[in-house]
């Protein structure tokens, strides 16, 4: 682990330098088509047999997919007062957070705008946070500024993060993970320590696809050995960012920077569950006044799912219409491989946010019919 008071992600000319993750060579050797994402080279899909976004998507839904998500920020917050300090920056109730179970939370600004969405886990030695890759440097700066000096913030940038997702993820992982806790004993949103390919691994039963699955934190130097071991299991294929996006969209899970940003708040984003019960009455988190007011009064807009007819997809930025009135805008959109038609997420005026409402999406001057749909589009298959 390294301290993170300093980081240079840009060179002297101010041009962002695209960085390599621990598995960079591993992806390239397996036909990974590398693109820039969150400041790193990452595989959008793999070429060759079984590769391509559609095939990778379907493989994950039917077997098990291995994702490299090492671009995400892994942070450890520890020291005296860490619990109170964390409650001052997140709308979470840590009194109800049992050890080793990750919980979803939100980093909010003073206006209640969403700076990031993240997972928090109580470990023996502190709180383990997983934050988005594109926002991690800002998150670290924000946290350091808002945490007291005696609370330590360590960026675990010597760790890689993998995800193994799909209906056969558990049997594949159980075959190779050694630990006091059997893999089968973990239920959704529970974690434990294991040994994988000789390396210490923190594994939680969680993910971003809507499938049963696991997220696996390992030392960077063991990333290749662990990835090799998992990929050697017959159920497992390597899956790129393209399918990660289509899977999470089907699962109705918002993507920061698209479906969530500083202009959105937990109420309009339909993430009220992330404001834990005690905090809804007590407040005391950034933007609490505005968020609790929106919670009581309702928000002007709401994040909804939209199911389109036909096959033509609508993308982020497309305007949503009710008759002649523009009532919203898409924040994500694409073809759903599972459903065989396009789907989207949008913020629409609350009056038009009820499931079943018929709306239209403007795509290049053409109006595509769409219907507000309850999220997720494809039901979650978590192992509860």
Partner 1 sequence: MTRYFTKDHEWIEVDGGNATVGITDYAQSQLGDITYVDLPAAGASFGAGDTAAVVDSVKAASDIYCPVGGTVTETNGALEGEPELVNTQAESGGWLFRMTLADAGQLGALMDQAAYEAYVKEL
Binding site for partner 1 (CB under 8 A): 44-45, 52-55, 57, 242, 246, 310-313, 315, 334-335, 337, 342, 364
User: Nearer Cβ to partner 1, position 120 or 318?
Assistant: 318
Contact 143, 154 (CB under 8 A): no
**E runs forming strands in 239-340:** 301-308, 319-322, 325-336
Shortest distance, position 360 Cβ to partner 1, whole Å: 16
Shortest distance, position 52 Cβ to partner 1, whole Å: 5
User: Nearer Cβ to partner 1, position 315 or 371?
Assistant: 315
CA distance 204 to 98: 14
Burial label for 359, CB within 10 Å (0-12, 13-18, 19+), is buried
**If you ran DSSP here, which 8-state letter would residue 220 be given?**
G
User: Nearer Cβ to partner 1, position 267 or 318?
Assistant: 318
Shortest distance, position 231 Cβ to partner 1, whole Å: 22
Shortest distance, position 337 Cβ to partner 1, whole Å: 7
User: Nearer Cβ to partner 1, position 54 or 152?
Assistant: 54
Buried b / exposed e across 364-384, counting CB within 10 Å, b at 16+?
Answer: eeeebebebbebbbbeebebe
Per the omega criterion (within 30 degrees of 0), is the bond before 156 cis? Answer: no
Pairing between β-strand 325-336 and β-strand 366-373 as defined by DSSP bridges = unpaired
User: Nearer Cβ to partner 1, position 53 or 85?
Assistant: 53
User: Nearer Cβ to partner 1, position 55 or 88?
Assistant: 55
User: Nearer Cβ to partner 1, position 151 or 251?
Assistant: 251
In sequence order, the 6+-apart residues with CB closer than 8 A to the CB of 159 are 70, 74, 217, 218, 219, 220
Shortest distance, position 271 Cβ to partner 1, whole Å: 26
Contact 326, 320 (CB under 8 A): yes
Q: In what order do the strands lie in the sheet with 236-238?
A: 191-196, 199-204, 213-219, 159-165, 64-68, 236-238
Shortest distance, position 341 Cβ to partner 1, whole Å: 9
Pairing between β-strand 64-68 and β-strand 236-238 as defined by DSSP bridges = parallel
């Amino acid at each position: 682990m390294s301290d993170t008071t300093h980081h240079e992600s840009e060179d002297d000319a101010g041009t962002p330098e695209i960085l390599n993750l621990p598995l960079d060579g591993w992806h390239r050797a397996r036909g990974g088509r590398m693109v820039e994402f969150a400041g790193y080279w990452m595989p959008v899909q793999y070429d060759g047999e079984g590769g391509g976004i559609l095939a990778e998507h379907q493989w994950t839904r039917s077997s098990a997919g291995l994702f490299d998500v090492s671009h995400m920020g892994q942070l450890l917050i520890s020291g005296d007062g860490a619990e109170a300090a964390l409650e001052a920056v997140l709308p979470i109730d840590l009194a109800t957070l049992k050890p080793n179970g990750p919980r979803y939370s939100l980093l909010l600004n003073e206006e209640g705008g969403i700076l990031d969405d993240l997972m928090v886990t109580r470990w023996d030695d502190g709180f383990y946070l997983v934050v988005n890759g594109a926002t991690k440097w800002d998150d670290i700066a924000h946290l350091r500024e808002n945490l007291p000096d005696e609370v330590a913030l360590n960026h675990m940038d010597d760790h890689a993060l993998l995800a193994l997702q799909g209906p056969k993820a558990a049997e594949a992982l159980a075959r190779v993970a050694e630990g006091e806790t059997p893999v089968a004993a973990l239920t959704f949103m529970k974690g434990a320590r294991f040994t994988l390919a000789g390396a210490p691994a923190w594994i939680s039963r969680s993910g971003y696809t809507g499938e049963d699955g696991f997220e696996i934190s390992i030392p960077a130097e063991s990333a290749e050995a662990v990835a090799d071991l998992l990929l050697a299991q017959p159920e497992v294929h390597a899956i790129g960012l393209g399918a990660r996006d289509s899977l999470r969209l089907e699962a109705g899970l918002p993507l920061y920077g698209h479906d969530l940003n500083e202009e959105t708040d937990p109420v309009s984003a339909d993430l009220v569950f992330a404001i834990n019960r005690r905090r809804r009455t007590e407040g005391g988190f950034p933007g609490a006044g505005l968020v609790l007011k929106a919670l009581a009064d309702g928000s002007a807009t709401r994040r909804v799912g939209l199911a389109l007819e036909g096959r033509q997809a609508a993308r982020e930025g497309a305007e949503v219409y009710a008759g002649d009135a523009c009532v919203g805008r898409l924040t994500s959109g694409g073809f759903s491989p599972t459903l065989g038609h396009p789907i989207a997420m949008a913020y629409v005026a609350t009056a038009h946010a009820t499931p079943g409402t018929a709306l239209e999406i403007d795509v290049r001057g053409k109006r595509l019919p769409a219907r507000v749909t309850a999220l997720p589009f494809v039901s979650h298959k978590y192992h509860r």
